[in-house]
Structure 1
Amino acid sequence: MPDITPAELKQRQAAGEKLTIIDVRETWENEEARIEGSQNIPLGTLPQKLDDLDELKNQEIIVHCKGGGRSSSAKAFLSQQGFMNVRNLVGGFQAYQQA
């Protein structure tokens, strides 16, 4: 799946779409600021949370971190686990805040 730009994500949020957004930053980063409606699953805990995400295997999942590196790893990991529609937020949370 192609990645998603901050502008596209904000446009879809403004349209009221129900989106699955996973923030793979550390909990303390998420507590400082977050994308509304996102759930925090730090990258290091993602393997243990797979069972909780199983029903999302065929749905769109948007992953993000601060700048895009950790979420790129999360996208690759989830794709390897059979998740079919994982998109990385280009530029991460930093780019989202500036969009």
Structure 2
Amino acid sequence: MRELTEGISNKQQLEGRLVEILHRISGADPSVITRDARLMEDIGIDSLGFYEILIEADTCFGIRIQEEQLLQFKTVGDIQSHLESLDIDLTSSKTA
């Protein structure tokens, strides 16, 4: 049961960090930054914003997302699912 709780907590932490990053990059209200929110249309991420996401992923999570891969992401959920698949250890990653 503890692993399940830790997994949910880690998932929630990841989502929170991602919302913080996207809010900082776009200036969008955090309440509109949901899994279903479209990066360009709903949040206002432009081409420069996509590069900022690459930098933030490296700085905050210690991972590198390929530019071609990032440009395929259409929603916040696309990015979150990708980050979740990498099994990032948020306890050792830097704060946003």
TM value normalised by structure 1: 0.29
Q: Higher helix fraction: Structure 1 or Structure 2?
A: 2
Structure with greater Cα Rg: 2
**Higher RCO (CA 8 Å, separation ≥ 6 residues):** 1
Structure showing the higher strand proportion among its residues? 1
TM-score, normalized by length of structure 2?
0.29
